[in-house]
Amino acid sequence: MRAHPDEHGVIAEFRRALGLRGPHDDAEAATVRSARLLAKVDTLVASTDVPPGMSPRDAARKAVVACVSDFASKGARPRLALASITLARGTPRAHVRQLASGLAGAASEFGIRFLGGDTNGGDGLSITVCALGEAPRRVPRRSGARAGDVVMVTGPFGHAAAGLAIATSRGRLASTARFASAARRALFRPSPPLGFCAGAARHFTASMDSSDGLAATLWEIATQGRVRVEVDAAPAGEGVRGFAASNGLDAMDLVLYGGEEYETVFACRPSSRAALRRRAARHGVRLLEIGRVAPGRGVVLADSGRRVRVRNAGWRHLSK
């Protein structure tokens, strides 16, 4: 056993100690006096989760988005929330006001009522948001994908990773103003497909939020479902391939391993395609079919007529 566990190892230790059975999921459902609830907690840490140039307002919004995105992947809406905020000593009042404004704006945007929370002092900013909502009749798990399902995503990938590359390059990367704007928006103001998923998740056989990266998400769905995911078309966002080529970057690294998209990745039966596409059109969601579920294990990508194994990689807390 490794002396220093990675994120999955840490989760396993806590679940074992707390008597939690089965694999963990994006958000967890429980019944309290006949009420079926969905709960999610997520923490934003400035040193790892706030890219250069992100305002305190957008950082606070991102902390809420992390919970909203997981609710979306389960077809639910968060209704109530608590926030716990750790600030470095000497944080300017203007900074605090922006953080408060970011939480208030996100609450209004996503229909959430904050009940209160906690504050603390520490070495740097962190924001923990705990959200609660009513669980749908059937909560799709990560583990339900079956051979014959199709795999879909609620938007293109790669813009957020490109935005991070631009933000950290100190002007060294070339891009058009239009692409830079789209990449910055994807990185700083992600928008989970909450409205679409609230009525679409009844069609999902498996689903997961994509914030840790498309490859890691597909691997989790494949691993928990004990199936293979075959990707026929990597969902590269507009301009991502050109941006990568112009700057000596690998476009598939941006699309598969970058993370921070906050889209929903799901499997469904082929017969659900038409209903899902109609709902996506009503909600302005760019629904993309990227592949299928097959017997086997792992994740593979079609590339120039051959199958290439996709690495099980992406954002991992506590990884070296």
Kindly report, residue by residue over 270-283, the tens digit of the pLDDT. Answer: 999 999 999 999 99
Q: For CATH 3.90.650.10, list the domain ranges present in the chain.
A: 150-309
Q: For CATH 3.30.1330.10, list the domain ranges present in the chain.
A: 7-134
Provide the 10 A C-beta neighbour count for residue 312.
15
Distance between CA atoms of 130 and 291, rounded to whole angstroms? Answer: 34
| Cβ atoms 169, 130 nearer than 8 A | no
Distance between CA atoms of 203 and 135, rounded to whole angstroms? Answer: 15
When mean pLDDT is compared across 75-84, 124-133, 308-317, the lowest value belongs to 308-317
Can you tell me the mean pLDDT for 39-47?
94
The reported pLDDT for the residue numbered 298 is 93
**7-134 in CATH: which number?**
3.30.1330.10
Q: Place 11 in a pLDDT band, splitting at 50, 70 and 90.
A: low
When mean pLDDT is compared across 93-97, 131-135, 302-306, the lowest value belongs to 302-306
Q: pLDDT digits over 64-102, tens only?
A: 999 999 999 999 999 999 999 999 999 999 999 999 999
Q: pLDDT digits over 147-181, tens only?
A: 999 999 999 999 999 999 999 998 899 899 999 99
Q: In the CATH scheme, what architecture does the domain 150-309 have? A: Alpha-Beta Complex (3.90)
Q: Which residues contact 10 (CB under 8 A, 6 or more apart)?
A: 317, 318
Q: Place 14 in a pLDDT band, splitting at 50, 70 and 90.
A: low
Q: Percent of the chain at pLDDT above 90?
A: 78
Q: pLDDT digits over 15-27, tens only?
A: 666 565 666 667 7
Residue 317, pLDDT above cutoff 50: no
The reported pLDDT for the residue numbered 170 is 83
For the record, the structure tokens of 256 come out as 């598969």
> pTM for the full model?
0.88
The reported pLDDT for the residue numbered 138 is 87
Mean pLDDT computed over every residue of the chain: 90
